[in-house]
Structure 1
Amino acid sequence: MFELDYGLAQDIVSRAMAILPYNVNVMDSQGLILASGERSRINTRHEGAQLVLANGRVVAIDSQVAACLRGVQPGINLPLFLDRRLIGVLGITGDPEQVRIYAELVRMSAEMLVAQRYQQQVERHWRRQRSDDLLALLLEEGGDILRLFDEAHLLGLKPQLGRTPWLFELAEGVSAERLGDWLLACYPDSWCVSPAASSLLWCRPGAVVHDEARLLERIEGQGWWILRVAVGERAEGVDGVRRGYRRVRDLLAYGRAILADQRLLSLQRHRLPALLWRFRDDEAVDELLRPLRRLRARDAGGQLLRTLRSWCEHGGQNQACADALGVHRNSLRYRMERIAELSGVDPLSLDGLLSLYLGVQLLPEEPPA
């Protein structure tokens, strides 16, 4: 529903007072002065406007009547209509008989301006809705890609730009639409679409470089809490963005299941485990996890699994892993021997390290006891 706002009301006042030697007021549908040539009157209640709103007709106020009303000066107040709906009041200060003819002309101009702004709002809403629908179709598989591409050009969506997909998982109560509006305002030529409840896919122009953690802080500084976000890599063209969306969707699902404590997930960092996660129900993936399940069953306190995770993170570098764990290299060697014994896989060999690394990436971390 269209309502007068401060910007539109001030535009009406400024245009009218650039021509007329009288003060002009614009009131909203509650009788509150939104704009006035006398700035001290803004945000005060106008009882004359309330009379107009109550009766839907012109109210002329002379000096005697003005003395009996609060926040009122002599003048004439006229209803403002949009498609026969009363949306506000226009007032001109002065002798009612002298300003009446001016008031009618100003009202006609004001209602034309209101109608123009309303039509612009309708067109913007339609354009936004159509853009959202079109983006959803572009990101789906199939469809007439050439027709969609041409329409995206007509709507100014610039489908030829390279983009980097970010998939946000939002906390309960966070509006995907409001977050999308903020991102669009901050980063022109972005694409924003909500593929499911509590999620937002943002495809930012690829030329923009961000510190991901810093951007997350900025978003949360606006009051929007993000449970986790999956960041993909620059993709070229619509087909590339489609593939990129699938990748970050898999990455987010992987992070939710395996890396519950990590809120910022990068495809560059987790590409291989996220790919394997798509095939988590396959027998081959289950085989990767069997040695680790054997190890976990015999690993009281989880010390060996933590050691193995650190070993994988440091690429099998003895000293770096020992330093990270805060143990002597001899202690680390003993632990690696126990891991090989209990799992049946040698982490000191390349094949063994690769097998255990992939398994560790797919094994959910158990919460502390």
Structure 2
Amino acid sequence: MATTMNLKDLLENGHDQDIQLLTRKPVNLIRPVSDVRLLLDFSIQNIHEAHILWIVPSVMKSTVLWDSLLLQIASNNGAGMIIPPGQISEATILLAERLSIPIFTVPLSKMDYVVHFIWSRLAQKEMLRLHCDLEKIKEITSLWEMAKTTNDFIKELSRLGIFVRINNSGESKNLLSDFKDEMTMSITWGRGRGVQIQTAPGISLSVLQHIRLLAGILLDREAGEIESELRHRSEFLLELLVDPRIPTGSLIHAAKQFQLDLGRYHTVVLWDLDSFRDFIKQGIPESSVLRLKSQLFQQIEREARLIFGHGLVLPHSDEFVLIVESPEALNALNVMQGMSYVHEALRPILHRFHVPGITAGVGFSYNGVQGMRKSFEEAHEALVVGRSRHGFGSITHFKDIGIERFLYGWIDSPRSKSLSEDFLKPLLNEPNAQELLETLEIYMESRGRLSVAAAQLKIHRNSLRYRLDRISHLLHVDVDDSTTQLVLQLALKALNMENKLHKK
């Protein structure tokens, strides 16, 4: 049975004259009893439940077997033992007292009646518990039917004295500061798969299972609503900024729905989650990923509207395209300052979901749909080059990427990283690889001037010349050749981008 009583409730007022306490040391009769079982073979090695009251009707005089049985009951945190009188020695009674295992005796002639009485008590307790659980489940279901969100449901449960925490990557906070001895159960279906439901002690397993079911339905419904909103915005994004055709009637209609005036000036800012693939690989529940995206695009949009008076976010995968509308072109410095405020506002959300960061690229302000698309392309270039130069968590304007924008598209491609690693592999395999790479990079930056490079490295010219000869030998190239220097600079830039991202 799944119910729990205590020895006092279970044994008194029924067969008191038949049940005698054998152990003399004072016993805590309030100790819990979760079940009563007959034991016929003097072994409970394969039974691991706690708080069981064992009835041993066998007549057996072996002290060794009685002592072994007591030790097994104690190790399983048993409630006690009922045996026929005259079965155990004084030494075994002393052992039971030391282990705090109460032993009761019942005459063999009365054993059947006592067992029937005890089971009747447990059955009554179980029926009462089931009735209470059923009433509580009805109350919980009524609250669930009125709840619009999972958080609303949790708050309403607290009014019943049921305190619940939903543990999905730390995004939801519990109403209690901490749970002690909490019960935990995972959702195993739908978009909430992997989310853990934790409750404070005091509710039964069946009630927790019901709460898990209802919370899972709410999480699945919320995830579906978020996914629908994200898909709707993403489709508009593709038509607005990617579709090469002239704006169609459907695009103009969609723009009106989003309150976007295609004839005004627009500044595009592209936000991209850092290491999003690694985040997904951690087994994060789908509902948590959707909540993250929803909270981010809402926060970006909210902050942009506070700062610039307008903001529309169109999410796509792990990117968020912010479009800021204005009657005239926005000043680039003002936009950058505004984006730094937005970035700060996003930090608590990123921290709550354990996301390493978010990087942004900013384009210039342009008029019309074609101008908006140009600003989008500039923001994308600024994002890629800025992340290459500054690493994760940076915000870069197109005006600041300089000549490196000519490498856009190549520097961030898997092909560039593969070629660079293959080309520089002989250096990377050297014990002093970092020293050689630093030497080569500074030599390239100093345009091949030995004195300047040696001063930056704080080494003698001859030491620098030795290192360069070593690099030429390993790579089978002439480091002073102009074409070779161009290739080396590109390879180092692609390699540095990868290293910066890993360090960050």
Question: TM-score, with normalisation over the residues of structure 1?
Answer: 0.50
Determine which structure has more spread, i.e. the larger CA radius of gyration. Answer: 2
Question: TM-score, with normalisation over the residues of structure 2?
Answer: 0.38
